[in-house]
Amino acid sequence: MPVVAILGAQWGDEGKGKVVDMLAQRVSMVVRFSGGDNAGHTVSNPAGEFKLHLVPSGIFAPEVTCIIGNGVVINPKVLIGEIDQLNQRGVDTSRLFISDRANLIMPYHLLLDGLEEEARGGKALGTTLKGVGPAFADKTARLGIRVGDLLDKEAFRERLGAVLDHKNVILTKVYGAKALSLDEVYSQYCQYGERLAPHIRETVIMLHEALDRGEMVLLEGAQGTLLDPDFGTYPYATSSSPLAGGACLGAGLGPNKIDRIFGVYKAYCTRVGGGPFPTELKDETGDLIRERAHEYGTTTGRPRRCGWFDAVAARFSSRVNGFTGAVVTRLDILDVLPALKVCVGYKLDGKNIDSFPASAVALARCRPVYEELPGWETPTTEIRRYDQLPLKARQYIARLEELIACPVSLVCVGPERAQAIEKTPIL
Ligand code: IMP
């Protein structure tokens, strides 16, 4: 039985939550493996519209076990709030489990995210200010506090005391901020620990037992490949890997266990926060896409920058992930445009290139080389079969497939489950 990964192929917000929600009906486990509550997954299903930040989008499928893996950083206050909200709206969260190895977002991470951004001034990264970067930095620096630590209060206090001594020096001496109180943070996090205890598990064991039973598992990505700290537009990147490789590390399974890897692409591109974006449209077409698609951040409410589909970045993304298939979302947004542009190369300092540069400075100097395709100028939101899409829409998809060098399996023409058209069977 396969393990299937659903990954962001651009700068995040590609509509992965919707795809996971739809496919969760056919699997027995969904595992989130990276990021934190910087992610915002909007899911619209018969139970209503939900904005999830930490809870896997599989939570709406009654038989599915949902896991927040070791690779996620967890703000317990946000997670508890999300669980409460789901429960209030009648969604059962008793099948939600959190890895004891996942690192916690602590109050000093939130403070430092803001203070570090402020110190960057005009070079701010535009982070979501959720403390995600500082939490992953501490994980790597071996200063992290993990979910499992909350279960041993004595050891937790000792560990927190040592870490907080260090953090308070940075807060007070570097940034002139107020020190945090050990007693306050300790008692607050002990309460969170008690509340979350029924959900805390050694989730790697649960995952492998499910695989041994031959069950189908879905790995749910957060953010997108172009925000990866290695392959994204560094330093305008996030702090954990949204890639297929990141899925192995953040869930706890070997690469040979993943059978299918789907990259989720929007039919155009968006980006939120700072950093280069070669196909950005700072004109009325960009505004039209933003308003039609309501491109405003789920987590921060910031307007998203919108632009044409960048096939250079898309092919790079496919390569570093090993995509076996692609999903194209929000095709319907393009329904009203008479002509569409796709970036097929860049002009960098007078030279044509067809690869995605490592340097964000170089990428910022790249000018897109466009190919123009005719628009279909026909509504697609009511279409349910691939062969009923307008010919020009199918030609657009076919050209993307060629350029990305990856077959498209699923095309979405709206936010509802029924608006996902399977071109070829995805599972
Ligand atoms: P951070 O992950 O909050 O540190 O933010 C780093 C960069 O990643 C910023 O440009 C954010 O806007 C971007 N980012 C983080 N999470 C998401 C997401 O879920 N969707 C889109 N962009 C994101």
| Choice from 14, 38, 57 to test ligand 1 binding pocket (greatest atom count within 8 A of CB) | 38
241 Cβ inside 6 Å of ligand 1 = no
Task: Give whole-number Cα distances, 204 to 101, 382, 425, in Å.
Answer: 10, 41, 29
Query: CB-based contacts of 349: which residues, under 8 Å, 6+ apart?
Result: 365
Tell how far the Cα of 209 is from the centroid of ligand 1, in angstroms. Answer: 33
Question: What would the two tokens of residue 83 be?
Answer: 């669980």
**Whose Cα sits closest to atom 19 in ligand 1?**
39
> Rounded to the nearest 10 degrees, what angle do helices 311-321 and 391-404 cross at?
60
Model pLDDT, residue 44: 87
With a pLDDT cut of 90, the percent of the chain lying above it is: 94
pLDDT along the chain (427 residues), means of 10: 93 94 93 96 88 94 96 98 96 97 98 97 95 98 98 97 98 98 98 98 98 97 98 98 98 97 98 96 98 92 96 98 98 98 98 97 98 98 98 98 97 94 92
- Rounded CA gap, 43 and 21, in Å? 7
Any catalytic annotation for residue 310? no
| Residue ranges of domains in the chain, CATH in brackets | 3-99+200-261 (3.40.440.10), 103-196 (1.10.300.10), 266-422 (3.90.170.10)
pLDDT, tens only, 46-83: 889 999 999 999 999 999 999 999 999 999 999 999 99
Phi, psi of 135 (to 5 degrees): -70, -45
Query: CB-based contacts of 169: which residues, under 8 Å, 6+ apart?
Result: none
Question: What would the two tokens of residue 365 be?
Answer: 């100097």
Closest CA to 95 of 51, 54, 64, 135: 64
* Entry pTM: 0.96
Any catalytic annotation for residue 13? yes
Question: What would the two tokens of residue 253 be?
Answer: 């399974």
| Choice from 18, 139, 223, 306 to test ligand 1 binding pocket (greatest atom count within 8 A of CB) | 223
Tell how far the Cα of 386 is from the centroid of ligand 1, in angstroms. Answer: 33
Model pLDDT, residue 82: 97
Tell how far the Cα of 384 is from the centroid of ligand 1, in angstroms. Answer: 33
Which segments within 46-199 are labelled E, that is strand? 48-52, 65-68, 73-74, 96-99, 103-104
Model pLDDT, residue 47: 87
Model pLDDT, residue 1: 59
